[in-house]
A and B are shown apart, each in its own frame.
Chain A
Amino acid sequence: MIVSRREVFLGRALLVVLMLVTVVPFLTLFVTALHPPGTYPAGLAWPEDPHWSNFVDAFTAANMGALLWSSVLIEIGVVPVTLLIATLAGFALGHLRPPGHRAIFLTFVVGLTLPFQAVIVPLYYQMRDMGLLNTRWAIILPLIGLYMPFAVMWMRAHFVTMPEELSEAARIDGAGTWKLFSRIHLPLSIPALSSLGILLFLWTWNQFLLAVVLVDDPARRTMAGALGAFQGQWGTDIPLLCAGSLLILTPTLLVFLVFQRRFVSALMQGALKG
């Protein structure tokens, strides 16, 4: 490849600028969080006397321990179930192809572009009539349903690429559908499953609308929803708000840094398939 030195320099410079633009807002958040509580610090200025205690204050003020636990509970309620039923459906629609599979799949695809706001009003009344309002179930159950179009499509796309010979061979060896699924197809779909799992984790953690509408108590919300409540209550104290925001987004950053590779590829594939 012919690459001139000027082009390399330009490319590097651009990359650095882009990264700066990405990182500076985080830095501002961090620096502002260190200012004395109750003040309105201007711009990006290191405080004379950094108030590290703001993080502790925000942690206790927002009851962060309970919030974290709530988010974890919601994740536990949403992600495994979604993975399980989407895998079953994806296996059936992509591999077994029962009669009517195309119509069924089409019905799922319809929901792919659906913004959550389109169904939020009836969902509220549905949850109220089910007596689930202001419980974690009010977030968990609708999310499972709302993830179905994407999750089923994702898993179906995976199973469609599995060669038929694999199953035929297994069947001739006398394997039933369950054995076929659990012994042969499930192990092969681990990469697709884990990417989907990461996406679902992230989307659930960051889910805001459902949390704001369906659950009043921040201690029963997702992390993003709790942050909304935190802004509602502590929006009057900017440094504390910034400290709280940082605490709330740190877990996603940690998970991201640990599973970086998979994360990036999952997000990109997610974008491509969605």
Chain B
Amino acid sequence: MVQAPTTGTPGRRRAVEEPATSTEARRRAIRARRLRHGWVGLGLVVPAAAAYAMFVLRPLALTVQYSFYDWNGVTSSTWVGLGNYARLAENPEMLGSIVNALELIVYFSFVPVALGLLTAATIRKLAASRLALVSRTVLFLPQVIPLVAAGIMWTWLLASDGLVNQVLRAVGLGSVTRAWLGDTSTALPAVGVIGAWVALGLCMLLFLSGMTKIDPSLYEAARIDGAGPVREFFAVTLPSVRQEIGVAVTVTVISALAAFDIVYISTQGGPANSTLVPGLEIYYLGFFSRDVGQASALAVVFMLLVLAIVLPIQRLTREGD
């Protein structure tokens, strides 16, 4: 599976160099046609670009604009400059939502990636067995269903009478049982568990497919050198799936930062704002408090945060190419 090349144009260069045998006239004809194609080409991009500009770039620009106003969405607005940003900087609730999103990265991203790597490495050898084929179907289920449904299922599982506590009691851990989503110290990790559950299958299968492409002789060599499973993992497996790791981290980190569906369904940001995330806070500010300017300022900061985190990860992955 290849990363889309974004800059190289190898096919093209070959095409230009190749017609060394053809005549000058033909070359000129091609160039003329190319110019015409240029216009055709631009024309073909227009519908996509129009949709993109209308429903992404324009709202994006408007978000920036709104963030400088105090507006309730109904009556007319007042210019407040950087006022909304200043309020954001000193508001523990909004800042807290950003901190929560960062913490969610641990559960939505690090946990499934680490667990996925571990299990994939263990299962690697069974990759062709029937069990592994079945698992491809089963482990994908959480990816297929709406996140809302995942939220509903897990809200029930994590309730005080839910299965999680039932199991804990059965194994003698009755003392730690609680309403996981209703305790300010466990609610965010509990939401994290839901996210990890959704992402684990995808991560694992991603790594597994990467690992099946590793040349078996590398492992044979490692074994002959006397490497145990642990050293083998770090010396052979891990470096070979570096690109897949980068991809998995990117995808899951974005899903952590942009978490909305699961939180909306399971905790609505509570208790005591302990699971409030920027996506939800933007929704509350924009449509509930109707503080459109403040919602937009948070959205702008949120967007920059996502870029600041995702771009470096992307760069690291790209270097692998």
Residues of A at under 8 Å CB distance from B? 1-3, 7-8, 10-12, 14-16, 18-19, 21-26, 28-29, 32, 40, 42-44, 84-86, 88-89, 91-93, 96-102, 104-105, 107-109, 111, 113-126, 141-142, 144-146, 148-149, 151-154, 156-157, 160-165, 168, 171, 177, 202, 205-206, 208-209, 212-213, 223-224, 227-228, 231, 238, 241-242, 245, 248-249, 252-253, 256-257, 260, 263-264, 267-269, 271-274
Contact = CB atoms under 8 A, between A and B. Distances in A.
Given A121-B296, A208-B260, A257-B137, A22 B306 contact: no
Nearest to A128: B73
24 contacts: A1-B220, A22-B138, A32-B156, A91-B44, A92-B45, A93-B41, A97-B9, A98-B45, A111-B57, A113-B306, A114-B303, A118-B60, A119-B60, A122-B66, A148-B52, A231-B152, A242-B156, A267-B140, A267-B202, A268-B206, A271-B248, A272-B2, A274-B250, A274-B251
B321 to A, nearest CB: 12
Interface string B6-38: 110101101100100000000000100100011
B48 A86 contact: yes
Contacts of B59: 119, 122-123, 126
A28 B156 contact: yes
B56 A146 contact: yes
Instruction: Report the interface size class on chain B.
Output: 35 or more
Contact of B51 (A11, A120, A144, A223): A144
A224 B146 contact: yes
A268 B207 CA distance: 10
Contact of B287 (A97, A107, A124, A146): A124
B46 to A, nearest CB: 8
Interface in B198-246: 200-202, 204-206, 209, 216, 219-220, 223, 229, 244
B18 to A, nearest CB: 8
A241 B152 contact: yes
Interface of B: 1-7, 9, 11-12, 14-15, 18, 30, 33, 37-45, 47-49, 51-60, 62-63, 66, 73, 119, 122-126, 129, 131-132, 134-150, 152-154, 156-157, 161-163, 165-166, 197, 200-202, 204-206, 209, 216, 219-220, 223, 229, 244, 247-248, 250-251, 254, 257-258, 260-261, 264-265, 278-279, 282-283, 286-287, 292, 295-296, 299-300, 302-303, 306-307, 310-311
